[in-house]
Amino acid sequence: MTRILLVEDEELVGTMVRMNLESEGHEVVWLRDAEAAWQTLASSAGRFDLVLLDIALPGMSGLDLLEKLRAAELGTPVLMLTARSDVSTKVAALDHGADDYLTKPFDVPELVARVKAMIRRSQAEREIPTDQLVHIGEYEIDLRARRAASREGAVTLSDKEVRLLQLFLSSEGETLKRADILDIVWGMDAWPSERTVDNFILRLRKLFELDHTQPRHFLTVRGLGYRFVH
Ligand code: CA
């Protein structure tokens, strides 16, 4: 069960968000102002998997709260809710340490997808300690150092390659859709196409499969996406 803290003063928006996230199986705590949210997070930030934070709030603004959270080194992922056409606010949100943002009015499926992607991203990061050495077949990967002994010899992996590996390792046996992989690994970075995912998989196969044309670890699930098995 994931716990989400919703900070939103608009009744209609708050009601809609809470209802939809609860129907997806999340527990939602809804507070109407940033001061109350600060009190709650300062005493139990670890209780929450995600904060959905409106910017325009009575009293302390969402941006001020975000700044306080990051200054206090509370790293709970934050999805900001911003007003459409307000580019400078979005930039400020990211500068203040927001993990993602959504412009109002937003579609419910989009909100649900973003929340799902953010939770998976933070769980993937939590579940695989980055100092861990992992093995795929006969190859060894040092995720923290981003170094690997691969079929092509010693290589340095890019951040995205490491994130993709972490995602696969934390969802072994599960079919991952290309769109979900993009969401989780690439997040807000200038949306690449699903072809990008295919290219990265090909690269991982060349590094960590004995024969990249006969993959045994990074498997294609036809019409759906990819599945990793050890
Ligand atoms: Ca508001």
Residue-wise pLDDT for 180-197, tens only, equals 888 788 765 555 678 889
Same domain, 156 and 82: no
CA angle 153, 154, 160 (to 5 degrees): 115
Same domain, 17 and 118: yes
Ligand 1 centroid from CA 72, angstroms:
24
Same domain, 9 and 114: yes
User: How does DSSP classify residue 93?
Assistant: H
Same domain, 107 and 195: no
Which whole-number Å values give the CA distances from 64 to 67, 83, 93, 104, 151, in the listed order? 5, 16, 10, 19, 49
Same domain, 29 and 95: yes
Could you tell me the CATH number of the domain that includes residue 33? 3.40.50.2300
Provide the domain count of the chain.
Answer: 2
Could you tell me the CATH number of the domain that includes residue 216? 1.10.10.10
Q: Give how far the C-alpha of residue 110 lies from the chain's centroid of Cα atoms, to the nearest Å.
A: 14
User: How does DSSP classify residue 184?
Assistant: I
Confidence of residue 86 (pLDDT cuts 50, 70, 90): low
Ligand 1 centroid from CA 30, angstroms:
13
Least confident of 17-31, 47-61, 127-141: 127-141
Question: Is the pTM of the predicted complex or chain greater than 0.75?
Answer: no
Tell me which residue range forms the domain holding 93: 3-127
Ligand 1 centroid from CA 54, angstroms:
6
